[in-house]
Amino acid sequence: MTQTSQLPGDAKLAQTLVGAGIVLLGLTLGAGAAVVPSVAGYGGVGPNFLPWVVSIVLVICGALIVREARTGGFRKLEEPTGAARGWWPALAWISAGLLSNAALIAVIGFILSCTLCYLLAVQGMRRSQGQAGVSSARTLAIDAFTGFAISAPVFWMFTQFLGINLPGLTPTGWI
């Protein structure tokens, strides 16, 4: 079902608040970027360049969302899929992945902590979709391998090619 008529006041207000929140987030990021030193480095840009770009894009997108919400709301929206309410155990799985990554990155290194983060987050996503066999050894092994296959090249690119220090498991810088 598509939505072509004016939205009720509650939906219009909610959409406006989302846009205003994005504008506020962009302004907050811009305020943070203002205090970052702007000394130009390699390539002529300083460390505050990317935060400024992101903050400007957030403010523009937020303003466009507010304009859209105030002029009739988001049009031609499809009915949402999935459950009417969020499944909290999935949030717990994903949060456990993020928190374990933050807690273990200096202990077991970037690659293994990111692999664990990926494994736990994917478990949460799979379980929220009701997929069968999510805790089978084969599925866990595939998820662990995929997490490793994503995090290892990222680690090596940052440490070996860009010269950015990330916590490793060994002092060699390759794991």
Structure tokens given for 87: 């499944």
Helices marked H in the chain: 9-34, 49-70, 88-108, 110-128, 137-156
Count of positions (residues) in the chain: 175
- Domain edges within the chain: 9-70, 88-161
Write down the pLDDT at residue 173. Answer: 53
Write down the pLDDT at residue 1. Answer: 40
Write down the pLDDT at residue 85. Answer: 75
Write down the pLDDT at residue 105. Answer: 87
Per-residue pLDDT of the chain (175 residues; tens, 9 = 90+): 444 445 566 778 888 999 999 999 999 999 998 888 777 666 666 777 888 999 999 999 999 999 998 888 777 777 777 777 778 888 999 999 999 999 988 888 889 999 999 999 999 988 888 776 777 888 899 999 999 999 999 888 887 777 777 777 666 555 6
Dist. CA 47–CA 145, nearest whole Å? 34
Write down the pLDDT at residue 30. Answer: 93
- Is residue 54 within 8 Å of 104, Cβ to Cβ? no
Write down the pLDDT at residue 110. Answer: 87
- Is residue 103 within 8 Å of 50, Cβ to Cβ? no
Write down the pLDDT at residue 25. Answer: 96
- DSSP 8-state secondary structure symbol assigned to residue 36: S
